[in-house]
């Protein structure tokens, strides 16, 4: 009888507590954060910028990132020594011991080719890169559509503001079909490895927001979303960024201290932070420094710029 009485009292107390918590929960509103603080990463590209005399080992880039106060590092695949597992695990442990997350793998592939074997080689390369990201514990991987290659020199392509002519007898409609077919082949592996593919607004076929959204929405997979690069829309950048923001899972932020290597954009990062907050973006902001200033001064300045923009109250103009 005593045990039954105790059980009744305990149950009554539990029910009363549950009712009180429900009442408090209904009356208490958790305020939205006043700031748009994001984790700031740095791409190893920022140290190299494809200048042969500046190519640093990934470990050295991780050391600098830790010393300067970054939260994470994005690895440029072509900057790595190899895809051997022993090397990958060494990088992963090195970052772990310095408290640095490895947040992104930036890869290169091109599916804009009428040659099926060429496209398939790029599919196999992409599948291998997904496995590399998985072994590194990296959750997202940058992918490209590729371009026609009718302008061979990248410097000339930049002079033409990223626009190249479609080859005679070919159409961009064909190219969209090739890209969608190729990326679709990569998605089962991405899902298996838990690596989200992030299609970057880049050059060639992926130069516009509408083109990026066409590919991502037609494929319609949670394992293919958008990488928003702040520096790759040369005309009406904020309108274009606004279009792709809802599908964005990763952001690369360009800075140009010392003047840009190919061009310089005067980007308003407070405005960009507000834009991303509007679309509830909560992921990484990864620095891609692309200026001529020495990286030892420019990268820390870039970090301060991004911390200021993404760590302030951007809830109102």
pLDDT digits (tens, 9 = 90+) for 273-299: 999 999 999 999 999 999 999 999 999
What is the Cα–Cα distance from 72 to 66, expressed in whole angstroms?
Answer: 8
50 domain-assigned = yes
The percentage of residues in the chain with a pLDDT greater than 70, rounded to a whole number, is 86
> What is the DSSP pairing of strand 224-229 with strand 248-255?
parallel
Give Dmax (Cα) for the chain: 93
Mean pLDDT of 147-166: 87
Q: What is the CATH number for 180?
A: 3.20.20.150
Report the sign of the C-alpha dihedral through residues 266, 61, 58, 185, in that order: negative
10 domain-assigned = no
Query: In the numeric block, which tokens belong to residue 219?
Result: 């494929």
Answer yes or no: pTM beyond 0.85. yes
CB 47 within 8 A of CB 299: yes
Give percent helix, percent strand, percent coil of the chain, each to the nearest 5. 50, 15, 35
Interval 181-230: pLDDT, tens: 999 999 999 999 999 999 999 988 999 999 999 999 999 999 999 999 99
Rg (CA), the chain: 23
3-state secondary structure of 119: helix
Domain that residue 226 falls in: 34-310
| ∠ CA 203-156-45, rounded to 5° | 55
Q: Is the pLDDT of residue 313 over 70?
A: no
**How confident is the model at residue 219, as a pLDDT?**
98
Q: Residue 267 — φ and ψ, nearest 5°?
A: -95, 135
Mean pLDDT of 126-131: 98
Residues 6+ apart with CB under 8 A from 250: 104, 140, 142, 198, 225, 227, 228, 283, 284, 286
Number of structural domains (the chain) is 1
Higher pLDDT, 276 or 11: 276
315 domain-assigned = no
274 domain-assigned = yes
116 domain-assigned = yes
Q: Residue 63 — φ and ψ, nearest 5°?
A: -60, -50
């Amino acid at each position: 009888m005593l045990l039954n009485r105790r059980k009744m009292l305990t149950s009554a107390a539990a029910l009363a507590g549950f009712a009180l918590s429900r009442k408090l929960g209904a009356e208490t509103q958790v305020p939205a954060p006043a700031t748009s603080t994001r984790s700031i990463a740095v791409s190893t590209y920022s140290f190299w910028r494809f200048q042969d005399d500046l190519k640093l080992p990934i470990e050295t880039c991780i050391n600098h990132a830790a010393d300067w106060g970054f939260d994470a590092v994005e690895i440029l695949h072509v900057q790595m020594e190899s895809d051997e597992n022993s090397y990958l695990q060494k990088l992963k442990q090195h970052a772990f011991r310095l408290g640095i997350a490895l947040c992104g793998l930036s890869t290169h592939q091109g599916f804009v080719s009428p040659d099926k074997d060429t496209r398939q080689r790029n599919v196999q390369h992409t599948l291998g890169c997904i496995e590399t990201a998985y072994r590194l514990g990296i959750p997202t991987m940058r992918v490209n559509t590729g371009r026609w290659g009718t302008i061979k020199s990248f410097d000339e392509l930049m002079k033409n503001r990223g626009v190249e002519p479609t080859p005679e007898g070919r159409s961009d409609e064909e190219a969209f079909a090739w890209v969608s077919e190729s990326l679709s082949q990569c998605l089962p592996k991405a899902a298996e490895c838990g690596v989200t593919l992030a299609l970057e607004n880049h050059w060639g076929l992926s130069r516009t927001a509408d083109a990026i959204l066409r590919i991502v929405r037609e494929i319609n997979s949670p394992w293919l979303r958008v990488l928003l690069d702040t520096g790759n829309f040369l005309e009406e950048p904020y309108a274009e960024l606004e279009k792709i923001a809802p599908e964005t899972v990763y952001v690369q932020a360009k800075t140009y201290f010392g003047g840009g290597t190919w061009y310089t954009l005067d980007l308003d990062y407070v405005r960009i932070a507000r834009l991303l907050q509007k679309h509830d973006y909560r992921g990484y902001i990864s620095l891609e420094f692309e200026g001529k200033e020495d990286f030892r001064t420019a990268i820390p300045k870039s970090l301060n710029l991004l911390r200021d923009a993404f760590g302030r109250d951007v809830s109102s103009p």
